[in-house]
Structure 1
Amino acid sequence: RRQHYPALLFSFLLHCLCFPCVFFNLLAVGSPLVMDPNSICRKTKRLVGKQNELCQTQPEIVSEVAKGARLGVRECQYQFRYRRWNCTSHNKYFGKILQQDIRETAFVYAITAAGVTHAVTQACSMGDLLQCGCEATRSRAPPRPPSSSSSGEGVKWEWGGCGDDVEFGYEKSKQFMDAKRRRGKSDIRALIDLHNNEAGRLAVKLYMRTECKCHGLSGSCTLRTCWKKMPHFREVGDRLLERFNGASKVMGGNDGKTLIPVGQNIKPPDKQDLIYSADSPDFCLANRKTGSLGTRGRMCNSTAMDVSGCDLLCCERGYREETVVFEENCLCRFHWCCVVQCKKCLVRKELSLCH
């Protein structure tokens, strides 16, 4: 059994995600480990180099890494909620996904690397880490006013506020998430994982936005202070899902160090593209070998023509209609001060469930 470092690292990280199950330990099948962020370093003796250094000297950053992994997998579950594979957190099934070189694995690696970048950077801005803080802006050129607006004429611009130090989060994500390839040995899977990790980090780093605040007497804008902020993580997930939909299939080059796109007249993938080397299963039926839970019993949309539609999601097996009655808050009122009182209402909903 091949012992693949990134998948091993993911198994350790995913133990920190507070899901109701214990994730698959890829090195010792049948020996799951129950872990919290503080125990990653204590029990992960196989971490070496920069990873081990991070564990020894900056365990609080490892805690943020765990939060980032949780953020990434939650976003994965949101983005794939209507697909046959819905980024399930079931232990053995998720572990099998990580052992393959398919498109779904590419997305998991990318969104998790992005989550770690985002979480560590945000912790810096919030003052939760001693090693970092707001972005240093002394050497940066002054911000430019929006080209679509003439109101910026005559207004002084300068960097200020608390910009997100995405470079720090990027480096820590790279330090902890990236695998080291063994010298003298080629590993196409490692090249693919490293590429997808980088694509995830760049989905955060390359899409920083500028926020500004006006200063002046009587509401005037004689001075505008600006700072850089990360994109909302939902934007990161949306962007990576687009990359997932257009992911490139690759194979290893003869030198064992390069990746070549499969197919004629296909441009080489750039750094932001997701890549994979094996075709995905159809995920229609439960199969532990492939990590498929199947779609039996999944809720679908009987009128939709996209991936959430019953024809596609149910793999043309058909579906049944079921009426569900549940209780929810309704007719809520705010009473001064400060109580919200609601009544309970019974709600009847028609569901379509896959056969």
Structure 2
Amino acid sequence: MLSKVLKKDTRESAFVYAITAAGVVYAVTEACSMGKLLQCSCDNHIQDIRRDGEWEWGGCGDNVNYGYLKSKEFMDARKRKRRGDLTTRIQLHNNEAGRQAVKEFMRTVCKCHGLSGSCTLETCWRKMPIFRNVGTMLKEKFDGAIQVQSSNDGKRLETVHPTIKPPSVQDIVYSETSPNFCRRNKKVGSMGTKGRLCDPTSIGVGGCDLLCCNRGYKSETIRLRENCKCRFVWCCEVHCQTCEHDKTFNRCL
């Protein structure tokens, strides 16, 4: 299913490319900081900055520039030869949006040093954002994705609707309208949402109203048997009781 979806320039494929590029940046940068790669280490470009009369000493931060370069090499390598193609331009743009989601949202982390908890010396370094936050930012970009087309000279992307601002490097872009993922459709690679578990109390994407595409859902209560009241017995066993409880599952029709 995923391979068919990625062949189209929809907002869903745009998000996949962006989050994948961000993931490569994150993984490589993290590996550098942990000393797992011989080619790089943490970012040790120390700069002394005076702030409010106190010294702030730059520590050894996450080497996001190295992660960025490796992500660019890995994700963009096969696309560079076909830059004039609309699909290629869109994919390269979304790759960059994913990388920017990590690079542009680096955070400053500081640690105080001194006797009795005083902050006579403050060491600060740059650290990557939490990846869940990166995903949240890209999801917001997905919700506000901009539909684009190739310019007349084929050298840039421009918006389909002239009233919408041109996409920035952080924006996610697409050119094709998304297919209807509510129903099963092998041609577009959609498995549909029939049988999907949903939450009838949620108004989000996992809620029954949205996920079931207003088709309704059915509820089924099942009695489950699970280990409970476990205790450690010296030495060396774990004894558990078996508890039964009812659990309701809601599935889309």
Question: Paired residue for 2:36, among 113, 128, 131?
Answer: 128
Q: Specify the SS of the correspondent of 1:189.
A: helix
C-alpha distance 273-323 of structure 1, shift in aligned 2 (>3 A): same
- The verdict on how the C-alpha distance between 1:137 and 1:341 changes in structure 2, with shifts beyond 3 A counting, is farther
Report the counterpart of residue 349 of structure 1 in structure 2: 247
Q: Which residues of structure 1 form unaligned runs of 5+?
A: 1-92, 145-152
1:247 counterpart = 2:154: no
Which of these residues, 219, 224, 227, is aligned with residue 321 of structure 1? 219
Query: Do structure 1's residue 277 and structure 2's residue 162 form an aligned pair?
Result: no
Q: CA deviation at 1:302?
A: 1.9
Paired position in structure 1 for 2:58:
159
Q: Is the alpha carbon distance of 1:122 and 1:340 closer, same or farther for their aligned partners in structure 2, counting shifts above 3 Å?
A: farther
| Distance across 1 between alignment mates of 2:35 and 2:191 | 41
Deviation at 1:309, TM superposition (A): 2.5
- Letter matched to residue 19 of structure 2: I
What is the identity, as a one-letter code, of the residue corresponding to 2:49?
Answer: P
The amino acid that maps onto 1:156 is W
Q: CA deviation at 1:300?
A: 1.3
What is the CA deviation profile of residues 133-180 of structure 1, one whole-angstrom value per residue up to 9, with x for unaligned ones? 010223x45274xxxxxxxx55432012x3100000000000110143
Matched ranges for 1:201-216 at <5 A: 201-216=99-114
Quote the residue 2:200 is aligned against: 302
Check whether the contact 1:330–1:342 (CA below 8 A) recurs between aligned residues. Answer: yes
> What are the equivalent positions in structure 2 for 1:59-98 lying under 5 Å apart?
93-98=1-6
Identity %: 58
Q: What's the Cα RMSD here?
A: 2.3
Aligned pair count reads 252
Question: Aligned letter for 2:204?
Answer: D
Which position in structure 2 is the counterpart of 1:112?
20
1:182 aligns with 2:90: no
Going from structure 1 to structure 2, the CA distance change for 1:332 and 1:285 (only over 3 Å counts) comes to same
Q: Is the 8 A contact 2:48 2:56 kept in 1?
A: no
Residues 201 and 141 from structure 1, CA distance in 2 versus in 1: closer, same or farther, beyond 3 angstroms?
A: farther
The CA deviation string for residues 91-125 of structure 1, in whole angstroms up to 9 with x for no partner, is xx111011110000000000000000000000000
More deviation, 236-245/312-321: 312-321
Q: What SS does the corresponding residue of 1:210 show, helix, strand or coil?
A: strand
1:329 positional shift? 4.4
Residues 166 and 344 of structure 1, relative CA distance in 2, 3 Å threshold: farther
Q: Which residue of 2 aligns with 1:63?
A: none
Alignment-derived partner of residue 197 in structure 1: 95
**TM-score normalized by structure 1?**
0.66
Give, in angstroms, the shift of residue 262 of structure 1.
1.4
Q: Secondary structure at the match of 1:284?
A: coil
SS at match of 2:42: coil
Please give the alpha-carbon distance, in whole angstroms, between the structure 2 residues aligned to 1:345 and 1:258.
63
CA pair 339-141 structure 1, distance change in 2 beyond 3 A: farther
